[in-house]
Amino acid sequence: MATIRTRPPGSSRGGRPHAPRSAGSWIATTLSGVALLLLLTIHMVANHFVVASVGGLRSYHQVLEYIANPAIFTIEAIFLLFVTVHAMLGLRGVALDLDPSPRAQRWIDVGLITLGLTTIGYGAFLIGTLASRA
């Protein structure tokens, strides 16, 4: 008689409890994605159509003047925040598909939070420095 072993639903290869992607994570990814669609549209139109005569922002001084505009600076800062959050949630989803152990999962979360905060910090430094040079 053949015996077939199957993993019970909700468990993973090593017998460890499987941690499916939570509903909260899905909602956060979706909401940040929706916000990104709006912000990305503004970002692209402002960058590539506002200065239509030259095909978009090109020269060094054009870029500095653009980013120094308070409205643009705010939009770009919010865009940076949402794109980073969405990217980190996406990377987390891919990583969790590899079925990591709970310990590895904690390290993944810590690593992605660190990477996300570093990205936001560097991006804020970048646009802040450029705006101050205008």
The residues binding other proteins (CB under 8 A) are: 1-2, 4, 6-9, 13, 26, 30, 33-34, 36-37, 40, 48, 55-56, 58-61, 63-64, 83-84, 87, 90-91, 94, 97-99, 119, 122-123, 126, 129-130
Which region holds residue 130: left if phi is over 0, alpha if psi is between -120 and 50, else beta? alpha
Q: Which residues contact 10 (CB under 8 A, 6 or more apart)?
A: 17, 18
Find, among 82, 11, 85, 93, the residue nearest to 43 by Cα.
82
Instruction: Kindly state the smallest distance separating residue 9's Cβ from other proteins, in Å.
Output: 6
Give the span between the Cα atoms of 6 and 29, in whole angstroms.
32
Comparing CB distances to other proteins, the nearer of 37 and 71 is 37
Crossing angle of the two packed helices 102-133 and 60-68, in degrees rounded to 10:
110
Instruction: Kindly state the smallest distance separating residue 70's Cβ from other proteins, in Å.
Output: 19
Comparing CB distances to other proteins, the nearer of 23 and 74 is 23
Comparing CB distances to other proteins, the nearer of 42 and 91 is 91
Instruction: Kindly state the smallest distance separating residue 107's Cβ from other proteins, in Å.
Output: 17
Comparing CB distances to other proteins, the nearer of 42 and 87 is 87
Instruction: Kindly state the smallest distance separating residue 10's Cβ from other proteins, in Å.
Output: 8
Give the span between the Cα atoms of 20 and 119, in whole angstroms.
27
